[in-house]
Structure 1
Amino acid sequence: MFDLVDEKYCKHILASEMQNHVNQNVLLYGKLVTTRFNKTAQGKLMRLSTFIDKKGHYFNAVHFTNVVHDFPIAGMGIYACYGKITNRFGFCSMNIIKSKKLRILCDPRG
Structure 2
Amino acid sequence: MLPRHHRLPLRFFRHQLQKSGRSISTLDLTLYYGSRESPESPSRLAIIISKKLIPSAVKRNLFRRQLQHHLHSLLPTIPVGYDFLILPKPSSLHLNFDQQRESLEKLFSKINTD
Task: Verify same fold: TM over 0.5.
Answer: no
Q: As a proportion of its length, which structure holds more strand?
A: 1
TM-score where L is the length of structure 2 = 0.29
Larger Rg: 1
| Higher RCO structure (Cα 8 Å, ≥6 apart) | 2
TM-score where L is the length of structure 1 = 0.30
Q: As a proportion of its length, which structure holds more helix?
A: 2
